[in-house]
Structure 1
Amino acid sequence: MNHGKEILTKVKEKVGLGSTAETGKGKSKISKHVTHGYHTAEGKSAHPMEDYVFAEFKQVEDNELGLFAIFDGHVSQEVPDYLRSHLFNNILKEPDFWNETENAVRRAYRITDDKILEKSAELGKGGSTAVTAILINCEKLVVANLGDSRAVICQNGKAKQLSVDHEPDSERKAIEDRGGFVTKFPGDVARVDGQLAVARAFGDKTMKDHLSSEPHVTVEMINDDTEFAILASDGIWHVMNNQEAVDCIKNVKEAREAAKALIEEALKRNSTDDISVIVVRFH
């Protein structure tokens, strides 16, 4: 057991042409090998940064939780910012969190979405995707997601995707059954009602009748073969597949440097979107 001080640094550092990135790192108190690091980069679009990151280890009674999330807003900074402040609190408030973790996560996602819709006068009509990962005592990883931010783990050098990309094309029937439609016009990306490139999200009050806010939830036990996990917004996945992302950083031992290296590779591959990456190393 290592009860050394947790290193938590949150720095705004200059990257590229005057744009600011958020970066930070931390480590587990119960296993000296488990560390996390994150890094962000603002995209080349005209709007301000809409990605929000949450990453920290938290002591809850006799347990340690690693709480990691990426929220990728659309037409909104308010909704992802609200999620960063409230979603994990809502999950941990669920009375059956420890016994029925997956159900607790599902219910908290629903409660949080209801609250965002209730507060639309103040939070606006935009929305956000989410990918969350809760590491329980460095042994069990509970991943949930809405939208197209993604969670991938590396086991013995091989990438394994833990989340599901909620794309309009793959959920076309459900969207149409709810009275919506999917079209690629204008452009070449399938969009719900011609507007939104994901089939599930938080918020989006004006489109909610046609969107789902039911998360995909999965549990992964961490064993000796599990090397690291990546959580990243779609700015990464537009330009590389899971295995390419894993290969890019498998030899970068420091988690924050790995997150940064992944972003640098995506930028080399001309990703223009906001990009956020969290890397959690298990060995």
Structure 2
Amino acid sequence: MLTIANVGDSRAVISKNGVAKQLSVDHEPASERESIENRGGFVSNFPRDVARVDGQLAVARAFGGKSLKKHLTSEPDVRIETIDDDTDLIILASDGLWKAMSNQEAVDSIKSIKDARFAAKHLTEEAVKRNSKDDISIIVVKF
């Protein structure tokens, strides 16, 4: 069994028999607007920018951010997934990858690469090549 707990703008994706399945929720302010507003905060949407909590933070759930604590939650989204013989790999990555590639594109891009470290490097290079402007941190686990 694999337990994924997620807070922030990273994502976990598992591949089973080559099919990508998202295991975590992207905690974006626009999708959690109601809970942010219920805590007294607001979500801004300025042109050519991402939605932000109180005009500052681009995630709806986070650790830290003392000045925003009362408007956020650090309650993780938790999912449990069975690891079995059909499991190929898991990708854990920040939004710099996911803004440049879909879940399935990322899986397809590395499914034939045996070395997990090289697979993560390949995904990083691909996100940069696709002009990702966000942070890019990637871990690949191969089974």
Determine if the TM-score, normalized by the shorter chain, exceeds 0.5.
yes
Cα deviation, residue 272, structure 1? 2.5
In structure 1, C-alpha distance between the alignment counterparts of 2:75 and 2:129, rounded to whole Å: 35
Q: Which residue of 1 aligns with 2:115?
A: 254
Q: Secondary structure at the match of 2:137?
A: strand
- Superposition deviation, residue 240 in structure 1: 0.9
Q: How does 1:195-210 map to 2 (within 5 A)?
A: 195-210=56-71
Q: Gapped runs of 5+ residues in structure 1? A: 1-139
Counterpart-to-counterpart distance in 2, 1:243 and 1:158 = 7
Distance 1:242 1:175 in 2: 27
Is 2:30 aligned against 1:157? no
* Aligned-CA RMSD value: 1.0
Task: Select the structure with the greater relative contact order (CA < 8 A; seq sep ≥ 6).
Answer: 2
Question: 1:185 offset after TM fit, Å?
Answer: 1.9
SS in 2 for 1:159: strand
Listed one character per residue, the Cα deviations across residues 171-213 of structure 1 (whole Å, up to 9, x for unaligned) are 1111111000011125331111111111000010000100111
**Higher strand proportion:** 1
Percent identity between matched residues is 71
Rg comparison, structure with higher value? 1
Count of aligned positions: 143
Matched letter for residue 242 of structure 1 = N
TM-score, structure 1 normalization: 0.49
Q: State the TM-score, normalized to the length of structure 2.
A: 0.96
Deviation for aligned residue 1:151:
0.5
1:267 corresponds in structure 2 to 128
Give the distance between the partners of 1:197 and 1:236, measured in 2 at CA: 16
Match of 1:221 in 2: 82
Return the letter of the residue paired with 1:173: E
Task: Tell me, in whole angstroms, the C-alpha distance in 1 between the residues paired with 2:127 and 2:24.
Answer: 20
Instruction: Identify the residue that residue 39 of structure 2 maps to in structure 1.
Output: 178
**Distance in 2 between residues matched to 1:180 and 1:187, nearest whole Å:** 21
- Structure-2 separation of matches of 1:256 and 1:273: 21
Deviation at 1:273, TM superposition (A): 2.5
**Secondary structure at 1:230's aligned position in 2?**
strand
Shift of residue 241, structure 1, vs aligned partner: 1.1
Q: In the alignment, residue 128 of structure 2 is paired with which amino acid?
A: L
CA distance in 2, matches of 1:256, 1:206: 37
SS across alignment from 1:153: strand
Counterpart CA distance in 2 for 1:193 and 1:187 is 17
